[in-house]
Amino acid sequence: MSEKEKDKKSQDLTRDTKNAEGKTMTTNQGVKVNDTNNSLKAGERGATLLEDFILREKITHFDHERIPERIVHARGSGAHGYFELYESMDKYTKAPIFTDTSRKTPVFVRFSTVAGSKGSADLARDVRGFAVKFYTEEGIFDLVGNNMPVFFIQDSMKFPDLIHAVKPEPDREIPQAASAHDTFYDFVSLTTETLHNHIWVMSDRAIPRSLRMMEGFGIHTFRLVNVEGKSHFVKFHWKPLLGTHSVTWDEAVKIHGADSDFHRRDLWDAIDAGHFPEWELGLQIIPEEDEHKFEFDILDPTKLIPEEMVPVQRIGKMTLNRNPDNFFAETEQVAFHPGHIVPGIDFSNDPLLQGRLFSYTDTQLSRLGSPNFHELPINRPVNETHNNQRDAHMRMTINKGKTAYFPNSIGGGCPHLAKMAEGGFTPYEERIDGRKTRARSESFNDHYSQPALFYRSLTDWEKDHVADAYTFEIGKCTYDHIKERMLYIINQIDEDLAAKVAEGLGMEIPSKVEGPVNQAIGADADVEKHQPPKKKNYLDKSEALSLTHLKSDSIATRQIGFLVGNGFDGESMGKMKKALEDKGAMVQLLAPHGGTVKCDQGKSHKVDAALLTTESVLFDAIYIPGGTKSLEALNKAPKTAKFINETLKHCKAIALDKEVMGKIENTYLEKFKEDAAVLIDKAPAKFIEQIAAHRNWSRQKEAMSIPV
């Protein structure tokens, strides 16, 4: 990207980027270095001299390279991009990013998992963070959301408990990046407000195929405020233009081993190849008058507003078009904060949001080490900042003048206050009257209706995955009383679901359990008092909750493995490759060995991966061209049958030239030859259709038993 093409933030970052090409090595003090391999010694065999400032500087800097990882969301991947507005929302807000359609606002986005450490695997069953930093002309606006529309808890007071419960158990620091353990289920089963977010985590939303194929949600109800000072409540949504797709749990486990950077690599490679991921920003707008119209409280972050009740209006598009230059400087040092808002956007009284407003700056103080973290290149706004804050560790700005206080006359009263016309931030003047009380609103006390709605809204295959996930996770717990409590409360969500899980666990669903199961309020052991209230049924089904709702017929960036050996049918392969690549798919030649393979026309083709070095789970679909010799070679290769059988098991599309059938031993191709996504001698267009559909889930029940 040329300097001219760069957006304002990328240009701003350029002043801090360095390129060593063609340059002489120096110390940090600018002294030229002519030996960086040997320390300074008294004689060739030592001892090493303390005066060696080059050695000391190199080692000292190295000793301090690490900073604390994020307390949650430690593992993440970032990208630059921009946001463009389709139509002005000035009826609702005065924030120019949402009113000025001529703007192209730079953004930096960081996706993350929640529970795992910085080096943990990408495919953990977990919520994904979806944090967007908008560098607006009026200052930074951070939308720090997740890929699920609800959160585990209703009040930030419980956040440390939630995180302590899900993180590795403190005595042995096990398990890493996994919620399937006793402490988490002890907490969940005693804190039923978690159940809604929890069932989302049990669904395929928690194991996305790609960070580019998941939705994002601001979760809390925020406010938009227009020039007249009128406020509307709002929920933010990100809708991926590639649709929403997931992998199966069996794949996720295998991807852990095959490529633990699967999501990070996928995001990087797509942007690198010019396939820029895109999301539309959607708003659900709720007039203030409607605040109490719903059967749930819009301030409760464990509730969503079904799209059928308040439609999502798509108002603009975000495109990620540039990979970071340096992971640490950008992705690691970026500091998000839901409290970074601009005039025209404001908070609601959601008690989870209110606590977050404290936590994020506070955590940067220990993570980034100084209140000057806003000066780091990735964090600084694109507009000028002036105030009387001064000094502290690693201050970069050299503030001129004598005055660092307000009011002043010596400095001409500057920096002066923004006049109303200039758009200084004025909080929305919400009237609040209340008793000081440490309490939870009664209106938050429905923990079962929405998890039930979610489950009802899934397709059958999604429901099966949810039941399997509960069975797996609870099955990993060692205490029977925790398992029983879980069965008891799942039964309150959905009896069929609970029956499936109980069968998987080999346990009975208890009709009563010890201890409080319906309140986050405290250790009140009066079980009867805490029986779940009756479920509400304000909607039978919300189609938007199923993964199948957001469709895309694009196969761009899908990874397609071609299984070939020497002597493969070059013409057939060429035709298929062209058809797929024309649609933006990425084709890789996989062969029994690395190096090159020759087709039947004698032409050499570079092998992208030897079968030994890759796995079927890294591909969306496979194709096997004909060619007697090629098929013989594939038949001899130990992993070919595993590759094919796993592709079948994971319900992916397979295309074969006619002569392939019956030539590769130990596969289940024959059994699935009538399957809609097993395409024998069909035109590439059919294959493309099936890849776009992502999976043929109707195969699932039968394919599950393939022993691979």
User: CB under 8 Å to 43, separation ≥6 — which residues?
Assistant: none
Q: How many residues sit in the footprint of ligand HDD (CB under 6 A)?
A: 27
Closest distance between ligand HDD and the C-beta of residue 252, in Å? 20
Give the CA distances from residue 188 to residues 162, 219, 523, 525, 669, in Å, rounded to whole numbers and listed in that order: 8, 20, 14, 16, 43
Of 131, 207, 573, 585, the residue at the interface with ligand HDD (CB under 6 A) is: 131
Of 40, 54, 55, 71, the residue at the interface with ligand HDD (CB under 6 A) is: 71
Residue closer to ligand HDD by CB (options 131, 299) is: 131
Interaction between residue 11 and ligand HDD (CB under 6 A): no
Residue closer to ligand HDD by CB (options 85, 352) is: 352
Residue closer to ligand HDD by CB (options 356, 485) is: 356
Residues 573-612 that bind ligand HDD (CB under 6 A): none
Of 208, 301, 451, 627, the residue at the interface with ligand HDD (CB under 6 A) is: 301
Closest distance between ligand HDD and the C-beta of residue 490, in Å? 23
Q: Can you tell me the distance from the alpha carbon of 33 to that of 114, in angstroms, rounded to the nearest whole number?
A: 43
Closest distance between ligand HDD and the C-beta of residue 78, in Å? 8
Closest distance between ligand HDD and the C-beta of residue 144, in Å? 5
Preceding peptide of 415 cis, ω within 30°: yes
Residue closer to ligand HDD by CB (options 160, 401) is: 160
Q: Can you tell me the distance from the alpha carbon of 513 to that of 523, in angstroms, rounded to the nearest whole number?
A: 14
Residue closer to ligand HDD by CB (options 129, 343) is: 129
Residue closer to ligand HDD by CB (options 70, 322) is: 70
Residue closer to ligand HDD by CB (options 220, 663) is: 220
Among residues 678, 683, 638, which one has the least CA distance to residue 660? 678
Q: Is 73 considered catalytic here? A: yes
Q: Tell me phi and psi for residue 129, to 5 degrees.
A: -75, 145
Q: Identify the bridge partners of residue 587 per DSSP, sorted by sequence position.
A: 560
Residue 682 near residue 654, CB atoms below 8 Å: no
Per-residue contact flags (x/-) with ligand HDD for residues 478 to 517, judged by CB under 6 A: ----------------------------------------
From the list 261-269, 332-340, 380-388, 493-501, the region that binds ligand HDD by CB under 6 A is 332-340
Q: Tell me phi and psi for residue 610, to 5 degrees.
A: -75, 145
Q: Is 146 considered catalytic here? A: yes
Q: Can you tell me the distance from the alpha carbon of 270 to that of 263, in angstroms, rounded to the nearest whole number?
A: 11
From the list 329-337, 607-615, 642-650, 659-667, the region that binds ligand HDD by CB under 6 A is 329-337
Residue closer to ligand HDD by CB (options 89, 127) is: 127
Among residues 155, 173, 356, which one has the least CA distance to residue 164? 173
Residue 152 near residue 192, CB atoms below 8 Å: no
> What are the structure tokens assigned to 699, written together?
């195969």
Residue closer to ligand HDD by CB (options 191, 614) is: 191
Residue closer to ligand HDD by CB (options 361, 408) is: 361
Give the CA distances from residue 2 to residues 11, 83, 271, 523, 659, in Å, rounded to whole numbers and listed in that order: 10, 20, 16, 61, 50
CA 345 to chain centre: 24
Q: Identify the bridge partners of residue 318 per DSSP, sorted by sequence position.
A: 83, 279
Closest distance between ligand HDD and the C-beta of residue 355, in Å? 4
Per-residue contact flags (x/-) with ligand HDD for residues 25 to 44, judged by CB under 6 A: --------------------
- One-letter amino acid for residue 358 of the chain: F
Of 336, 347, 470, 672, the residue at the interface with ligand HDD (CB under 6 A) is: 336
Residues 210-269 that bind ligand HDD (CB under 6 A): 219-220
Residue closer to ligand HDD by CB (options 367, 481) is: 367
Name the active-site residue from 34, 37, 64, 73.
Answer: 73
Closest distance between ligand HDD and the C-beta of residue 250, in Å? 28
Of 106, 116, 129, 351, the residue at the interface with ligand HDD (CB under 6 A) is: 129
From the list 67-75, 289-297, 382-390, 659-667, the region that binds ligand HDD by CB under 6 A is 67-75
Give the full edge-to-edge strand order of the sheet including 621-624: 609-610, 586-591, 559-563, 621-624, 653-656, 678-680
DSSP for 604-638 reads EEE-SEEGGG--GGG-SEEEE---HHHHHHHHHST
Q: Identify the bridge partners of residue 680 per DSSP, sorted by sequence position.
A: 656
Closest distance between ligand HDD and the C-beta of residue 77, in Å? 9
Give the CA distances from residue 609 to residues 66, 371, 588, 617, in Å, rounded to whole numbers and listed in that order: 34, 48, 7, 14
Residue closer to ligand HDD by CB (options 148, 477) is: 148
DSSP for 17-42 reads ----TTPPPB-TTS-B-S-SSS--BS
Closest distance between ligand HDD and the C-beta of residue 145, in Å? 5
Name the active-site residue from 146, 323, 445, 491.
Answer: 146
Residue with the CB atom nearest ligand HDD in the bound state = 129
Burial of 136-175, coded b for 16+ CB within 10 Å and e otherwise, reads bebbbbbbbbbbbbbbbbbbbebbeebeebbbbeeeeeeb
DSSP for 345-397 reads EE----HHHHHHHHHHHHHHHHHT-SGGGGGSTTTS-SS----S----TT---
Per-residue contact flags (x/-) with ligand HDD for residues 137 to 176, judged by CB under 6 A: -------xxx----x----x--x-----------------
SS3 call for 146? strand
Closest distance between ligand HDD and the C-beta of residue 338, in Å? 8
Among residues 628, 626, 665, which one has the least CA distance to residue 644? 665
Closest distance between ligand HDD and the C-beta of residue 256, in Å? 22
> What are the structure tokens assigned to 691, written together?
């890849």
Of 70, 237, 639, 649, the residue at the interface with ligand HDD (CB under 6 A) is: 70
From the list 44-52, 70-78, 175-183, 512-520, the region that binds ligand HDD by CB under 6 A is 70-78
Q: Can you tell me the distance from the alpha carbon of 545 to that of 285, in angstroms, rounded to the nearest whole number?
A: 19
Closest distance between ligand HDD and the C-beta of residue 268, in Å? 16
Of 9, 73, 465, 699, the residue at the interface with ligand HDD (CB under 6 A) is: 73
The count of other CB atoms within 10 Å of the CB of residue 678 is 24
Residue 655 near residue 685, CB atoms below 8 Å: no
Residues 349-378 that bind ligand HDD (CB under 6 A): 352, 355-356, 359-360, 363
Closest distance between ligand HDD and the C-beta of residue 152, in Å? 8
- Residue numbers at the binding site for ligand HDD (CB under 6 A): 70-73, 76, 110, 112, 129, 131, 144-146, 151, 156, 159, 219-220, 301, 334-336, 352, 355-356, 359-360, 363
Residues labelled as active-site residues: 73, 146
